[in-house]
């Protein structure tokens, strides 16, 4: 299935590779497909037979009869009218049953494709997510799944049946009325299809432009709303409105071009249909005048042409929509064709943490080849040991966390846990063994209780409340009208920085992993809260391997060892007292921070 995504060509007429994606979903409901096909065949049979019944009705009513035969004359049309009504009803109800039965197939396909895309996006590496545009991405996925649903429904039950019906009508016209009627019908159908395809291919670029403009406008709006507070801080409401209006202006222009091109298409199709129907009616009227055809035949041909061009007109709509759907699916297919730079090895094993011994061995890393972030970093964190990494901003401290979580792979060197190189184990087992309290805590737009339970979704209520107590959240939660059921808002914006940090700490405490990471975990707390949280962290870290990333040196004075980074390299290692005695880089940082606190 991956090949179908990778081989997608947005410029192709119809990308048949897409059916490699659709086909498995069709096979999942074989019985429903068979029932829908039976309904389809019966519906088309009723559709083709209807005009013949109409002919018999008209001919029966137009016969010259005597007074004695009026009763017989009356009974024949009544029976035919009832038969015609039954045929029309059968055609409609069978079509409805077909669509209802097949609806389960399309709905399941949308569910499966949507889940597949969701899982795929989560499996992409951090680099992709740092560069993504959330609003545009969401719209691309939504349009893509809807496009696949459309293709499933209309390819299977509209295009092929319409072509079959056209063939049947042409054959019946030729058999009953000669080559002239069949030829006019054939030529008009071919012209209609060719014109629709050529014009639709031309206007597809306007659909793409409209989609790009729509995604850009959506991205602009969501980015602005997510940064609501920043907009207010700088009183940039008018500036944001201007940017959004420019995006909407591009969308309006693209939609106008799309609408005008649609006018061209519809006008051309209408001209072909009108010319064909007028020619057929003219020829039929002549035959009636000559006495070679009855009025019923005239009505039958008119009904056939109406019945033929209705699905044919719909076929033009379907082709337009297919091209539009292909344009909609393009970005989703490109997304599905992306692969993560960080992958599990084919023979990756589960990480088994027995002691929690972490080793960084000659680790170097760069985001860009011309700017190395870490230079040959080597240090150990022994089982149960608390090691702090400190240094000025930009020294590479948080990069160590990203490497340990394997959001990126080192450019050189290796990282191992209990002798297992993390590149050789599954990412899921690696991250399951590590708990983190990040510097920038982002919460889900749900309750405090649910956000804490996220650390261990199957945790009991008692476990969650225990984590709340250990994170010293009881007093804060007690002051809230809704307690633990209080909603935190999008990205946790209803909580202060310190409150969000304590929720994150509780979430990690609930997970209770063998390895703990704290990335500036108390950076948003006041001194009193910081002391209580540090005491809780010391308690929970007892017997666990801990890596602490810290800018505030006062929070790590009790660390078993402190690693000092400067411009991506380790310049000092030791305890707090040992590093102060060295009077080196750590001592400089300590002195500078003490002055800040005393000033």
Domain ranges of the chain: 2-337, 347-433+515-524+545-599, 442-512
Q: For residues 132 and 23, give the distance between their C-alpha atoms in angstroms, rounded to a whole number.
A: 30
Q: Which CATH code is given to the segment(s) 347-433+515-524+545-599?
A: 3.40.50.300
SS3 569: strand
Of 29-33, 153-157, 325-329, 467-471, the poorest mean pLDDT is in 153-157
Fold of the CATH domain 442-512: Rossmann fold (3.40.50)
148, two tokens: 């696949």
What is the C-alpha to C-alpha distance for residues 93 and 403, in angstroms, rounded to an integer? 61
pLDDT in tens, 425-482: 999 899 889 888 887 777 888 888 998 898 888 889 999 998 888 877 888 888 888 8
Give the pLDDT confidence score for residue 488 in this predicted structure: 83
**Residue 519 CA, distance from chain mean position:** 31
Note the pLDDT of residue 9: 46
Closest CA to 534 of 579, 546, 561: 546
Q: List the structure tokens of 562.
A: 């402190």
For the record, the structure tokens of 315 come out as: 């076929």
The fold for domain 2-337 equals ABC transporter transmembrane region fold (1.20.1560)
Whole-number pLDDT of residue 416: 94
User: Interhelix angle for 527-541 vs 497-511, to 10°?
Assistant: 10
360/505: higher pLDDT: 360
Q: Name, of 74-78, 185-189, 331-335, 424-428, the range with top average pLDDT.
A: 424-428
DSSP class of residue 555 equals G
* 3-class DSSP assignment, residue 409: coil
- Can 347-433+515-524+545-599 and 442-512 be said to share one CATH topology? yes
What is the reported pLDDT for 421?
93
């Amino acid at each position: 299935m991956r090949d179908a995504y990778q081989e997608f060509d947005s410029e192709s007429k119809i990308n048949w590779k897409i059916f490699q994606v659709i086909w498995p979903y069709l096979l999942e409901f074989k019985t429903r497909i068979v029932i829908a096909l039976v309904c389809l065949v019966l519906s088309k049979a009723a559709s083709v037979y209807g005009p013949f019944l109409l002919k018999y009705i008209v001919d029966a009513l137009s016969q010259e009869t005597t007074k004695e035969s009026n009763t017989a004359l009356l009974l024949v049309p009544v029976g035919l009218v009832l038969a015609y009504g039954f045929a029309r009803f059968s055609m409609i109800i069978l079509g409805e049953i077909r669509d209802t039965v097949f609806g389960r197939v399309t709905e399941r396909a949308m569910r499966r494709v949507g889940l597949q895309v969701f899982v795929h996006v989560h499996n992409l590496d951090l680099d992709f997510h740092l560069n993504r545009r959330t609003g545009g991405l969401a719209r691309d996925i939504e349009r893509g799944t809807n496009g696949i649903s459309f293709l499933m429904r209309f390819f299977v039950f509209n295009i092929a049946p319409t072509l079959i019906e056209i063939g049947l009508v042409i054959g019946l016209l030729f058999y009953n009325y000669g080559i002239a009627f069949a030829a006019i019908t054939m030529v008009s159908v071919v012209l209609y299809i060719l014109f629709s395809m050529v014009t639709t291919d031309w206007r597809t670029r306007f659909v793409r432009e409209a989609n790009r403009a729509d995604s850009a406008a959506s991205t602009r709006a969501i980015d602005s709303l997510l940064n609501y507070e920043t907009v207010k801080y700088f009183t940039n409401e008018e500036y944001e409105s201007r940017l959004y209006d420019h995006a909407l202006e591009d969308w309006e222009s693209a939609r106008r071009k799309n609408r005008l091109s649609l006018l061209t298409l519809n006008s051309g199709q209408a001209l072909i249909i009108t010319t064909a129907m007028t020619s057929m009616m003219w020829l039929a009227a002549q035959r009636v005048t000559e006495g070679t055809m009855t009025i019923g035949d005239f009505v039958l041909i008119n009904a056939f042409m109406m019945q033929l061009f209705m699905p044919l007109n719909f076929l033009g709509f379907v082709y337009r929509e297919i091209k539009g759907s292909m344009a909609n699916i393009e970005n989703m297919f490109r997304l599905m064709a992306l692969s993560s730079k960080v992958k599990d090895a084919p023979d990756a094993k589960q990480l088994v943490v027995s002691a929690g011994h972490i080793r960084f061995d000659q680790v170097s890393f760069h985001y860009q080849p011309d700017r190395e972030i870490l230079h040959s970093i080597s240090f150990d964190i022994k089982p149960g040991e608390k090691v702090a990494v400190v240094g000025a901003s930009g020294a590479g401290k948080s990069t160590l966390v990203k490497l340990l979580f394997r959001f990126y792979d080192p450019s050189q060197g290796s990282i191992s846990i209990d002798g297992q190189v993390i590149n050789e184990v599954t990412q899921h087992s690696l991250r399951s063994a590590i708990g983190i309290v990040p510097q920038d805590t982002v919460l889900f737009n749900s309750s405090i209780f649910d956000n804490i339970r996220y650390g261990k979704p199957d945790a009991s209520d008692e476990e969650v409340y225990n984590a709340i107590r250990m994170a010293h959240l009881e007093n804060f939660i007690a002051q809230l009208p809704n307690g633990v059921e209080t909603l935190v808002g999008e990205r946790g914006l209803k909580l202060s920085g310190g409150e969000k940090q304590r929720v994150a700490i509780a979430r990690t405490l609930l997970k209770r992993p063998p390895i703990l990471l704290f990335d500036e975990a108390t950076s948003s707390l006041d001194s009193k809260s910081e002391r209580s949280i540090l005491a809780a962290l010391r308690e929970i870290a007892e017997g666990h391997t801990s890596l602490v990333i810290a800018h505030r040196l006062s929070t790590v004075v009790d660390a078993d060892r402190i690693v000092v980074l400067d411009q991506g390299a380790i310049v000092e290692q030791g305890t707090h007292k040992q590093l102060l005695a060295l009077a080196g880089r750590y001592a400089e940082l300590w002195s500078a921070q003490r002055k800040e606190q005393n000033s």
